[in-house]
Amino acid sequence: MNLDNASAPEVFILLGFSNHPWLEMPLFFMVLVAYIWTLVGNISIIVVSRVDPHLDSPMYFFLSNLSFLDLCFTTTTIPQLLLNLWGPDKYISYGGCVTQFYMFHFLGATECILLAVMSLDRYIAICKPLRYPAIMHHRLCIFLVAVAWISGLANSLLQSSLTVQLPLCGNNKVDNFLCEVPVMIKMSCADTTFNIAMLSIVGTFYSLVPLLLILISYGFIVATVLRIRSSEGKKKAFNTCGSHVIVVSLFYGPVIIMYVQPSAANSQDKNKFMSLFYSLLTPMLNPFIYTLRNKDMKGAMRRLLGSCHQRTEQT
């Protein structure tokens, strides 16, 4: 994919689900509904977290950042997927392809780090509640979010710079609905041993290291909660963390399979649906999970809707 290489194609063909043409139109409407729900759900969380004074806490600051990430994550790939599913034109430009996998890996790695930051926040809130306001002050929250974004940027720069150097020898058919590094490596006609090794190493670092931090945090959280005498206190603590645990599980499962073992013997169709799962379904479910299991968020949503309804009646 080196720009100086004459074999670099000007456009790529995203094969997507074209080997199952009967699936494309039903999938189009399913993806469209899921994408609209993702936009509405995540924008609602961002707005509510910003305007409701009851949600002025580090937890909701991180949650609004996660929602913004999910918005960007889905918008990187889903509009192109909808275009490809709707009509016969499956093309994406060289620049569009590079931009897509650059942003995809940037935002994906950022989300891995941000989920670890959110688990750290929950650990301090539950295990050190008296010191929580002093520790998780606003400047530290901004710093932790900045670390997540910068770390994701570093991952994307490394992966993208290695991938664009691979010669494709005229091969422009991408057997997926998006351009991402594992697929582009498979398309190369050169020796990709080093790229596969780096993908596995970097994928392990950006997925398993944050996951290990999450597991350690929740290990301390569970130990602390079990020492709480009141059943109401235990229920409140578990409800607070339950949403985050579900989101982590939904996000990390496919990511580990795809990037820690990129050469695993998975069928390409299976890989496509895994990519669809963590690029659309997880961002779509996140607002539902956090709203359904969080009384404060549900209350803030009702207050916002009530305020909007009153303003509508007044006008």
What pTM does this model have? 0.86
Distances (CA, A) of 292 to 21, 41, 141, 231, 247: 36, 12, 25, 21, 13
> How far apart (Å, rounded) are the C-alpha atoms in residues 33 and 45?
18
pLDDT single digits (tens) 190-229:
888 898 888 888 888 888 899 999 999 999 988 888 887 7
Strands (E), the chain: 11-14, 91-93, 173-174
Tokens of 275: 């990519």
Distances (CA, A) of 137 to 63, 132, 141, 302: 16, 8, 6, 28
Q: What is the residue extent of each domain of the chain?
A: 11-314
Farthest CA pair distance, the chain: 70
CB atoms within 10 A of CB 44: 18
pLDDT single digits (tens) 56-84:
889 889 999 999 999 998 999 899 889 88
What burial class does residue 15 get, using C-beta atoms within 10 Å of its C-beta: 0-12 exposed, 13-18 middle, 19+ buried?
A: middle
Q: What confidence score (pLDDT) does residue 113 get?
A: 94
SS3 18: coil
Looking at residue 13, the DSSP 8-state letter turns out to be: E
The CATH class that applies to domain 11-314 reads mainly alpha
pLDDT single digits (tens) 289-311:
877 667 777 777 777 777 765 66
